């Protein structure tokens, strides 16, 4: 990550009024980090309560048991932790239609959050996600026992 990647204008993400999911090409101006649903729940809880204008986590979508977040291009240095998948500009990603809200059921598609900026802040998100991913087997078990 460089200062230049964090200061670029926020790009317009694709919007589609149709229902369902759509294959989109990542970028330009944004890339996607995918993570498992349990890890995403931990990250969301750890970052909850921050005002949208300063939150490290931007828009979030769910698809096929994973959640995806949008990052500025070239946000893959340092590398994201194991258990995540980083999709660079030019890769394909399946996005829900812009109006489709996530229902919370495993495997469904939709938007979990569209508050604040579309792009997440990698310098703020990376240490939190890395720590939670390292502790995931223990933390996921604790999370499942509470639900």
More confidently predicted of 1 and 138: 138
Q: Which of 11, 73, 75, 70 is nearest to 35 (CA)?
A: 70
The Cα–Cα gap between 123 and 106 comes to 29
Write out pLDDT tens, residues 43-75.
988 887 766 566 788 899 999 889 999 999 999
The Cα–Cα gap between 51 and 134 comes to 27
Q: Which of 104, 93, 77 is nearest to 34 (CA)?
A: 93
Domain boundaries, the chain: 16-146
Q: Please report the pLDDT score of residue 113 as a whole number.
A: 87
Q: How confident is the model at residue 25 (pLDDT cuts 50, 70, 90)?
A: very high
Q: Please report the pLDDT score of residue 53 as a whole number.
A: 60
Average pLDDT over every residue of 28-48: 92
């Amino acid at each position: 990550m460089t200062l230049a990647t964090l200061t670029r204008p926020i790009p317009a993400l694709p919007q589609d009024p149709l229902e369902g999911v759509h294959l989109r090409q990542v970028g330009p101006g944004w890339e996607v980090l995918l993570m498992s649903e349990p890890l995403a729940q931990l990250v969301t809880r750890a970052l909850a309560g921050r005002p949208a204008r300063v939150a490290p986590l931007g828009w979030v979508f769910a698809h096929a048991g994973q959640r995806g977040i949008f990052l500025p291009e070239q946000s893959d240095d340092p590398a994201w932790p194991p258990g995540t998948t980083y999709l660079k500009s030019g890769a394909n990603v399946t996005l829900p239609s812009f109006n489709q809200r996530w229902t919370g059921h495993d495997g469904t598609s939709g938007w979990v959050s569209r508050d604040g900026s579309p792009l997440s802040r990698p310098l703020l998100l990376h240490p939190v996600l890395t720590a939670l991913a390292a502790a995931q087997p223990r933390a996921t078990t604790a999370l499942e026992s509470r639900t």
